Amino acid sequence: MNDQVLVKAYSYLSLLRSRLHHPRNEEKALPYLDLEKEISRYRTAIVYVGLSSVRAESPGEAVDLIQYAFRNTENWFVPAFTPSFRRTGVYSVMHSRPEVGAFSKNVFKQSLKRTVDPIHSLFIMNGELPYADTMGDTFDPGGVYKSFTTQDACIVNIGTPKIVSTNLHYSERFAGLPYLECENHQGVVILPGGKEKEINHTSYKYKNRISWNRKKIERLWIKNNCVNVGSWNGALCRIIDGETSMSCLHKALTKDPYFMVTF
């Protein structure tokens, strides 16, 4: 690793440590990030948002600011997750409210196109998503989340204190990690128009109680120059390169299958 990358990584980690102790200094500490310019290098993005961190007059205005920033992104998507399907066995593409994140709940009001995955569905904000009609297996190595590991894809965090990426589940499955199992959930998906379809859906399950070591993962990505970080509208913003982050994480997991987790 060259000196320039070392300095960048050290400076960023120092800024994050400072932010933890002095959160009000976040905007002063982090360099400005031109979000539109940075995401213009990619054709595809999945976007995770901590909406309250975005400087705006209201949640609705914050949503508008984010949507405007991504107006020229060819394909971009927002989580619309409904983990309760594991319990209820019912998911309506049109009417099941997202259960994770204020941004997703605000986007839900726009009645956008949505994928049919009953647990990890995505709002299609713009463009198309390969394999979007797949219901059978969320994290299949050839499935939907592969779309965010290609050369022209990125994972964007806006206002999230720690890295957030559903693709970490995809990496676990891709690497065939020893603590991971597949779990089947039977139920019904209600498609647009009201047609019901019975499904046997596959998702992830852990053999042990684990938690991701997100700081460790982020340090790996910083070291390998996979993350661009800065402040955008008052919020800590990360742009994670889909291809390089997947590649270096897979190499780390090949050496140590437990690299990502803490028991």
**Is residue 211 classed as helix, strand or coil in its secondary structure?**
strand
The answer to whether residues 91 and 196 touch, using CB atoms and an 8 Å cutoff, is: no
- Tell me the pairing of strands 227-232 and 235-241: antiparallel
Query: What is the residue type of 99?
Result: E
List the domain boundaries for the chain.
3-258
Which pTM does this prediction carry? 0.89
Residue 137 to residues 48, 124, 237, Cα–Cα distance (Å): 22, 19, 30
- Counting residues of the chain whose pLDDT is more than 90, the rounded percentage is 85
For residue 135, what pLDDT is reported? 72
In sign, the C-alpha dihedral spanning 30, 31, 32, 33 is negative
Q: Is the pLDDT of residue 229 over 90?
A: yes
Q: Which helix (DSSP H) or strand (DSSP E) does residue 182 occupy?
A: strand 180-190
- 80: which 2 tokens? 């619309």
For residue 9, what pLDDT is reported? 53
Contacts of 134 (CB under 8 A, 6+ apart): 116, 117, 140, 143, 144
Over the stretch 156-177, which tens digit does the pLDDT of each residue have? 999 999 999 999 999 999 999 9
Q: Is the pLDDT of residue 117 over 50?
A: yes
What gap in Å lies between CA 78 and CA 69, rounded to an integer? Answer: 14
For residue 2, what pLDDT is reported? 57
Over the stretch 237-255, which tens digit does the pLDDT of each residue have? 999 999 999 999 999 999 9
The answer to whether residues 49 and 158 touch, using CB atoms and an 8 Å cutoff, is: yes
- Mean pLDDT, rounded, of the chain: 91
What gap in Å lies between CA 122 and CA 78, rounded to an integer? Answer: 5
Number of H helices, E strands in the chain: 9, 11
For residue 52, what pLDDT is reported? 96
Over the stretch 43-55, which tens digit does the pLDDT of each residue have? 999 999 999 999 9
**What backbone torsions phi and psi does residue 111 show, to the nearest 5 degrees?**
55, 50
Q: Is the pLDDT of residue 22 over 50?
A: no
